[in-house]
C-alpha cells in the first residue's frame, strides 16, 4: 500500500474519531464540552493537513520524505500479532503458568529463533523469573487464571 493510501486511511480514521467524540459531547455542559470540541476541530484540520502533505509529497517523487521503506515480512508480523491476541485471551482463561510458556514456545518456534532445547529452557526459565520478580520480590499481581 502506498504512502498516500495509508495516510488517507489514517486521515479518515482521525476524522471519524474527532466527529464521533464531537457528537457525543452534545449531552455535556459547557465546561464538559468546550475543550473536547476545540480539540475535535484541531484534529480534523490537522488530519486534512496531513493528507495534503502526503499528496504534495506524492507529487514530488524526488522528495526525501517519500523514500521507499525497507522490505518487511507482513505475514510474520500478522501471525505474531495474532499470537499476542491469543496470549492475552489465553492468559485470562488458562492463567499465567500455561499461557506464558505456550506463547514463548509458539512464538520462538514460529520465528525459528532458537533450537527446541533452548526454546524449552527459555520458556520455563523466563516464566519462573517473571513470577518470582513480580509476585515474590515486588508483590505485584499477575493473572494466574484458574490458580487464583
Partner 1 sequence: MFDANVMAGLMNVLTPFNLLAVVAGTAMGLFVGAMPGLSATMAIALLLPLTFNMPPATGLSMLASLYMGAMYGGSISAILIRTPGTPAAAATVMDGFPMAEKGQAGKALGVSLTASLFGGVFSSIVLLTVAPALGKVAVEFGPVELFGVAIFGMTIIGSLSQGSAIKGLLSGAIGLMLAMVGMGPITGSPRFTFGMIELYSGVSYIVALIGLFSIPQAIRLVEKEEVVGKAITNFRDRMLPTLSELKGLMPTILRSSVIGTVTGIIPGTGGDTACWFGYNEAKRFSKDKDKFGTGIPEGVAASEAANNAVVGGALIPTITLGIPGSSATAILMGGLMVHGIMPGPTLMTEHAGITYTLIWAVMFSNVAMFIEGLFFTRAAIHVTKVKNKVLAPIIVILCVIGAFAINNSMFDVAVMFLFGIMGYFMDKIGMPTAPMVVGLILGQMLDTSLHQSLKIGHGSLMIFYDNRICFWLLVLSGLSILQATPFFSHCKRLLQKNQPE
- List of residues contacting partner 1 (CB under 8 A): 3, 6-7, 10, 14, 17-18, 21, 24-25, 28-29, 31-32, 34-36, 39-40, 42-43, 46-47, 49-50, 53, 65, 70, 72-74, 76-77, 80-81, 84-85, 87-88, 91-92, 96, 100, 103-104, 107-108, 111-114, 122, 126, 130, 133-134, 138-143
- CB of 12: closest distance to partner 1 in angstroms? 12
Residues contacting 88, CB < 8 A, separation 6+:
none
Take residue 94 and report the three cell numbers written for it: 488458562
Distance from C-alpha of 115 to C-alpha of 117, rounded to nearest angstrom: 5
CB atoms within 10 A of CB 42: 11
- CB of 143: closest distance to partner 1 in angstroms? 5
Q: What is the CA radius of gyration of the chain?
A: 23
Amino acid at each position: 500500500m502506498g504512502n498516500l493510501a495509508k495516510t488517507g486511511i489514517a486521515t479518515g480514521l482521525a476524522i471519524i474519531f474527532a466527529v464521533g467524540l464531537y457528537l457525543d459531547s452534545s449531552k455535556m455542559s459547557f465546561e464538559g464540552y468546550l475543550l473536547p470540541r476545540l480539540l475535535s476541530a484541531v484534529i480534523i484540520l490537522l488530519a486534512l493537513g496531513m493528507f495534503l502533505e502526503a499528496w504534495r509529497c506524492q507529487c514530488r517523487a524526488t522528495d526525501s520524505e517519500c523514500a521507499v521503506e525497507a522490505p518487511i515480512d507482513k505475514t510474520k508480523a500478522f501471525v505474531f500479532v495474532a499470537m499476542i491476541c491469543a496470549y492475552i485471551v489465553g492468559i485470562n482463561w488458562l492463567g499465567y503458568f500455561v499461557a506464558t510458556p505456550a506463547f514463548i514456545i509458539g512464538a520462538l518456534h514460529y520465528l525459528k529463533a532458537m533450537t527446541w532445547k533452548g526454546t524449552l529452557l527459555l520458556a520455563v526459565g523466563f516464566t519462573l523469573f517473571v513470577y518470582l520478580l513480580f509476585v515474590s520480590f515486588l508483590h505485584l499481581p499477575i493473572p494466574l487464571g484458574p490458580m487464583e
